[in-house]
Amino acid sequence: MTISSGESTLPVGANPGRPAGSPSLAEALRSGRLVRAAGAHSALTASLVEQAGMDAVWASSFEISAARCLPDASLLTMTEYLTVAAEMQKCCSIPVVADVDTGFGGTMNVAHMVREYESRGITAVCMEDKLFPKMNSFVAAPHCLLPTEEFCRKLEVAKAVQREKDFHLIARTEALISGQPVTEALERCRRYADAGADSVLVHSKDRTNRQVLEFLAGWDERVPVVIVPTTYPDWHADDARRAGISMVIYANHGLRAMIRSTLDVLRTIREEGSTVPVEDEIASINDVFRLQHLDQWRKVSE
């Protein structure tokens, strides 16, 4: 049911999926332009990603874990990650791409994950080929990979149980993170595409884009390629698109900006004894009201 008042329409008791008419990630990728996503860890930060003009929200397991002051090490449950991703999608008209780590277990867990995420309006998930429990890719620790055959089986199951034709499965290889050569990343991604993955994400923590360019030189373009350029930030989006990249994920920059800016503001207030020095640097209360859609909510009671 919807309650309309003037120019505003609020969903009341609606199915908790994505807003009607909002594009899926598959639709965005079919446009042929570079899709840019940014990380978020709450409905509020997802709204900011959309306001910034990004094409998609990355429901980052790193950010969601950090918001709980926990490491990104498979500590949270599927339900905890799903709850946050679904809250993001309810407030955004751009697709949310859910980082589902290793799929939360074996093939039955993967099947359950796809059904549950679909039912909450999520149109895309990204699953990686590490062993459970995983550790964040940028931690100096062993990063063990699942055998290719086993990960392919997870991908096959995920695609077999999906209900929505535009549900998009990104297969992420951590081969380069684990110290394997580019040839291993290529072989795995070819197998993942054959197993049904709709896109592949080749992850690298090299300080340049060298490994990714080498990957692209050997890639046969059977499915789109996604990157996360956290450690090679100087690769301009336009240059990445010309090189053959279809989607770029700025996975954690919002979180890192929030930590730095919040700490600076609070320290200034403590040191200066008032909020005057920071008033021009922070959002207004009205900015918060706009993010809350307060005007539309108030019209419901008129």
53 Rama class: left (phi>0) / alpha (psi -120 to 50) / beta: left
Which segments within the chain are labelled E, that is strand? 2-5, 8-11, 35-40, 56-59, 96-99, 124-128, 168-173, 199-202, 225-227, 247-250
Work out the end-to-end distance of the chain between its first and last CA atoms, rounded to an integer number of angstroms. Answer: 18
Name the residue with tokens 């922070």: 282
Paired residues of 171 in beta bridges: 127, 200
Identify whether the C-beta of residue 265 lies closer than 8 Å to the C-beta of residue 59. Answer: no
Residues carrying an active site annotation? 72
Name the residue with tokens 């996360």: 228
DSSP secondary structure, 232-250, as one string? -TTS-HHHHHHHT--EEEE
- Distance of alpha carbon 100 from alpha carbon 117, whole angstroms: 10
Which amino acid makes up residue 156?
E
